[in-house]
Structures are given as C-alpha cells and as structure tokens.
C-alpha cells in the first residue's frame, strides 16, 4: 500500500493592483487630495481628452491615469 504524497507547495500569486472603492486606475486613492503636479496633469488631460471627443468613463479613466502618472 502506497502513502499519499504529503508535500505541500503553496501557490504564490503575483500581487494584484490595489483598487479601493471609487478608484478608476491602479493605486488611485480617491480619499487623498491630488498634489499640484497631479492636479495640473489632470486639468491638462481633461482638456486634451475633451478636445479628442472623449466623454463619460473613458474621459474619467484618461484623466485618472494622467494624474496617477504625474509625479
């Protein structure tokens, strides 16, 4: 009678991006205010996105990505 293999290797998954409630992009923190560079990037992105004809969620995600990529 053979014994079952008892070796156990835990599955390690890659870390997933953090999406708090209300976030549109990874690592966005809707509960924190934007710094001046992020605010300027968001304003510029909103103007650019609107000029490109973006509306709704697509525009909001575009603006959020720009703000989160600003230093």
Q: Please give the pLDDT value at position 63.
A: 97
Q: Please give the pLDDT value at position 19.
A: 79
Q: Please give the pLDDT value at position 1.
A: 64
Q: Please give the pLDDT value at position 50.
A: 98
What are the 10-residue block averages of pLDDT along the chain, 71 residues in total? 71 74 86 94 98 97 95 78
- What is the pTM for the complete model shown? 0.72
Q: Please give the pLDDT value at position 9.
A: 73
The SS3 of residue 5 is coil
Q: Please give the pLDDT value at position 26.
A: 84
Q: Rounded to whole angstroms, how far apart are CA atoms 58 and 12?
A: 33
User: C-alpha distances in angstroms, 37 versus 8, 12, 28, 43, 45?
Assistant: 48, 36, 15, 10, 12
State the DSSP code for 11.
-
């Amino acid at each position: 009678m053979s014994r079952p293999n008892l070796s156990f290797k835990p599955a390690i998954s890659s870390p997933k991006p953090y999406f708090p409630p209300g976030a549109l992009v990874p690592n966005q923190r809707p509960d924190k205010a934007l710094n001046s560079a992020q605010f300027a990037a968001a304003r510029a992105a909103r103007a650019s996105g609107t000029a490109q004809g973006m509306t709704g969620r697509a525009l909001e995600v575009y603006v959020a990505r720009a703000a989160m990529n600003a230093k």
